[in-house]
Amino acid sequence: MNSIVAQKAPFPVEVEAGKKYFWCACGRSGNQPFCDGSHKDTGITPIPFEAKDARTIYFCGCKQTGNRPLCDGTHNGL
């Protein structure tokens, strides 16, 4: 099963230093950009991300990035 586009823009998130986040790779989560378990039976699994410091991170919203889980601008070509 393929990932679906959650939105054609990144999700800016204020992350906390040392905290682990699980980015939704399937696009089905109702808690974007994070996993809520909606990937069940898709063969797609969430991508873990651990914040090294507190700052704004831009998580990919289109799920097509080549820099998972971060936005690389791929949504501009969709």
What's the pLDDT tens digit per position in 43-75? 999 999 999 999 999 999 999 999 999 999 999
Our separate counts of H helices and E strands in the chain read 0, 4
Q: What is the pTM of this model?
A: 0.94
Residue-level length of the chain: 78
Residue 1: Cβ-neighbour burial (10 angstroms; 0-12, 13-18, 19+)? exposed
Torsion angle, alpha carbons of 19, 25, 28, 32, to 10: 30
Instruction: Give percent of the chain with pLDDT exceeding 70.
Output: 100
Token couple for 28: 């089905």
